[in-house]
Amino acid sequence: MDFLSILGRTVEILGTIAFALSGSLVGIDRGLDFFGVMVLGVITAVGGGITRDIILGNTPPAAFLDPTFVLIAVGMSVVCILAFNQFAHFLTPEIMSKLMISMKVLDALGLALFTVSGMNIAINMGFSENPFLMVSVGVITGVGGGLLRDIFVHKTPMIFKKNIYATASAIGGIVYYFCLNSMPQYAGMLVGASVITAIRFIAMYKDINLPKFSKDDYYFD
């Protein structure tokens, strides 16, 4: 296995861990049972990849052919559940607020890692000359799991309303694409992922959002 393959696999594993923990924390916050928390952790971790594979015609999706990532997601969800049960009596509203911040940080890291990972899949399948497809499947890989997570718990998906989410993925994906022409692929992956993470962190810290409609601005009879 060459260096890029090892790096790509590592990126996918780290993204899976980040998104699984993110989904599990949301499930715990929403009061789901143990099974519900694990399902939410798994769907957040692999949902984007499954959607990507279907779009690329890579079927059955990799998550069903190689259960490694599903098992990692289940393991992270179990760790999250056990840790929560062990320390639940210490969890004040302030600590829970910090846990939700941690969830957003993990989510930002997962978004960055899965965006470049999804683009790598497109490159490996021979679509390196189609930047629109590459960036699109990168964004879908990055946001798909979180989108399904929010739908499962009856939340308006974060990508539609909060803190420059899918836009950050797209910008980082575009940066990665252009980096491919000027530096080694592993360096481009690092730059693209760093751009996505930086945009997300700045947007969260500064509470920056894209312009949106307010119900006070219009009236439908």
For position 205, what pLDDT does the model report?
Answer: 82
- Residues 55-98 pLDDT 10s: 998 889 988 998 899 999 999 999 988 888 887 777 777 777 77
Q: Read off the tokens for 31.
A: 């009061």
- Is the separation of the CB atoms in 14 and 7 below 8 Å? no
**Mean pLDDT of all residues in 90-113:** 78
For position 164, what pLDDT does the model report?
Answer: 82
* Residue 163: DSSP 8-state: S
- Residues 182-219 pLDDT 10s: 898 889 989 999 999 999 999 888 877 777 766 666 65
For position 209, what pLDDT does the model report?
Answer: 76
For position 220, what pLDDT does the model report?
Answer: 55
| Dihedral class, residue 214 (left if φ above 0, else alpha if ψ from -120 to 50, else beta) | beta
In which band, very low, low, confident or very high, does the pLDDT at 29 lie, cut at 50, 70 and 90?
Answer: confident
For position 42, what pLDDT does the model report?
Answer: 94
For position 30, what pLDDT does the model report?
Answer: 87
- Bond into 157 cis (ω within 30): no
Question: How many angstroms separate the CA atoms of 89 and 77, rounded?
Answer: 19
- Is the separation of the CB atoms in 16 and 73 below 8 Å? yes
- Residues 134-184 pLDDT 10s: 999 999 999 998 889 989 998 878 777 766 888 999 999 999 999 988 898
- Residues 3-15 pLDDT 10s: 667 776 777 788 7
Residue 87 in 3-state DSSP? helix
Tell me the pLDDT of the chain averaged across its residues.
Answer: 85
Domain boundaries, the chain: 3-210
Q: Is the pLDDT of residue 129 over 60?
A: yes
**Mean pLDDT of all residues in 40-45:** 93
CA angle, residues 144, 150, 156, in degrees to nearest 5: 110
DSSP H helices, the chain, are 3-29, 34-56, 62-65, 68-87, 93-124, 131-152, 166-179, 185-206
For position 62, what pLDDT does the model report?
Answer: 87
